[in-house]
Amino acid sequence: MEALRELKELLAHEIQMLHSAENQLLVGIPRLIEKACNEELKAVLDLHWKETGMQVKRLEKAAKHLGISAGNDDNPSIKGLLAESERLLSKGGVEPIVDTALIVGMQKIEYYEIASYGTAAYLADELGLTEVANLLRETLLEEKNTNAILNHISQNNILRQAANL
């Protein structure tokens, strides 16, 4: 990558990294679903996986508005977060502990995405790219919602079971 000279170049980079992240998650989330024990957690992860496909399409639309390729570079942050979760989950364990570990890993991913989409939307706003900002905010709301649902499942079900072992 060449030196950044314009804010639009930074936004382009962020959109490309988000596109890479979502594509990695399209592959990684099903592997995490396989490790989940709790049916409600599996259903939430499956729904989020389906949303991820739509998020990829939105990022491609945003990239088209910017006149850039959505890119295929690996997002090292998501790659690392997925690897960390998969490595931990590969050890197996007691069901509520495994599900809690899975939620911890997914929430790390969600917080990364929330920060990234929020920042990218802000950059798009600053550049007057309202449609791009709206596309990014639509996904930002989905990421926040997924995080809230994971919190709810954890606090009202899985974490209580894990604490009582």
**CA separation for the pair 138, 15 (Å, rounded):** 14
41 in any annotated domain = yes
pLDDT at 137: 98
Query: In CATH, what number is assigned to the domain containing residue 128?
Result: 1.20.1260.10
CA atoms 158, 160, 163, 165: torsion sign: negative
* CA–centroid distance for 17 within its chain: 11
65 domain residue, yes or no = yes
65: Cβ–Cβ under 8 A, 6 or more apart, which residues? 129, 131, 132
Residue 73 has a pLDDT of 74
Cβ(118)–Cβ(142) below 8 Å: no
* Residue 1 counted as domain residue: no
Q: Give the pLDDT confidence score for residue 163 in this predicted structure.
A: 86
Query: Does residue 2 belong to any structural domain of this protein?
Result: no
Please list the pLDDT of the chain residue by residue as tens digits (165 residues). Answer: 578 899 999 999 999 999 999 999 999 999 999 999 999 999 999 999 999 999 999 999 999 999 999 986 789 999 999 999 999 999 999 999 999 999 999 999 999 999 999 999 999 999 999 999 999 999 999 999 999 999 999 998 898 888 887
The predicted model scores a pTM of 0.94
Name the residue among 116, 138, 147 with its Cα closest to residue 55.
138
DSSP state for residue 90 in the 8-state scheme: T
Is residue 94 a part of any domain in this protein?
Answer: yes
The answer as to whether 17 is a domain residue is: yes
Q: Look at residue 1 in the predicted model and tell me its pLDDT.
A: 59
Q: Residue 87: which region, alpha, beta or left (left: phi > 0; alpha: psi -120 to 50)? A: alpha
Residue 15: inside a domain: yes
Q: Count up the domains in the chain and report the number.
A: 1
Boundaries of domain holding 85: 7-163
In a domain, residue 121? The reply is yes
